[in-house]
Amino acid sequence: MARRERFPVAVVGPGALGSFFAQRLSKVVPTAVVARGATKIPQADWVIILVKAYDTAAAYRVGKRVVPVATGRTLLPPGFEALARMLRRAGFNTKITKEIRAARLRKLLANVCLNPVTAAFGVRNGALAEPPYARFAEALAREAAPVLAAEGLKIAPAEALRRVMAVAKATAENRSSMLQDLAAGRKTEIEEISGALLRLARRHRLAVPTHAAFRQIIRIMEAR
């Protein structure tokens, strides 16, 4: 039996982001690219999964070690230094940090405030910094802050709003992934984004009515 080749890294999900990572990584190390839905992953030291949140359960069932990453700054926990060096060689801004949970909560804040509003109204991110959409973003940010604080993120409502507005302005021309999914007739990540915040809110017995309303709006739009 022929010996299976082992790769330094495998990238699962060769969509736009997966292809981007695979292309860069392949310039510095042999890289395996795995189609979404594949039942087998080549032997690899590291497996990077770049698929929609609602697809990751299937990916995890393969039983391989995975590392979720994203564009912008890639944050990895201690123990992932070898992967961090590989990503830096490929040109990715990568940092080792112990504050992964805080970073994920800050990312959730931006997602729950930007994605549902842009998708519901069909606007780009920058629209949320101006009326009339800014008032929806503000309501979402102020509701989310106590929930995230209860989860351990040190953030006040005013700071939450400032962060959301900063992201909206910095990505003003972007069309959110949720907006793009609705436009293409695809399933959105509303349950993994707004649904996640609602579950945290229930855990801490906090009210987030605006988030609940936008979650329902997006679900109705998905069903059209």
DSSP character at residue 127: G
What CA dihedral angle connects 121, 126, 129 and 134, to 10 degrees?
10
Residues that are catalytic: 107
Provide the sign of the torsion angle of the four alpha carbons 47, 50, 197, 162, taken in this order. positive
Q: Going from the N-terminus, what domains does the chain have, and what CATH number goes with each?
A: 7-96 (3.40.50.720), 100-222 (1.10.1040.10)
Residue pair 188/218 in contact by the 8 Å Cβ criterion: yes
Per-residue pLDDT at 114: 96
pTM: 0.79
Per-residue pLDDT at 40: 80
Per-residue pLDDT at 84: 93
DSSP character at residue 12: E
Mean pLDDT by 10 residues, the chain (224 residues): 74 78 92 79 87 46 37 81 94 90 93 97 96 97 98 96 95 90 92 97 98 98 92
Rounded to 10°, the helix 209-222/100-121 angle is: 60
Per-residue pLDDT at 52: 62
Per-residue pLDDT at 111: 95
Task: Collapse the DSSP code of 42 into the 3-class scheme (helix H, G, I; strand E, B; otherwise coil) and give the result.
Answer: coil
C-alpha span between 71 and 77 (Å, rounded)? 17
Helices (H), the chain: 16-26, 56-60, 81-89, 100-121, 133-150, 157-170, 177-183, 190-203, 209-222
Per-residue pLDDT at 61: 31
Residue pair 194/215 in contact by the 8 Å Cβ criterion: yes
Per-residue pLDDT at 34: 87
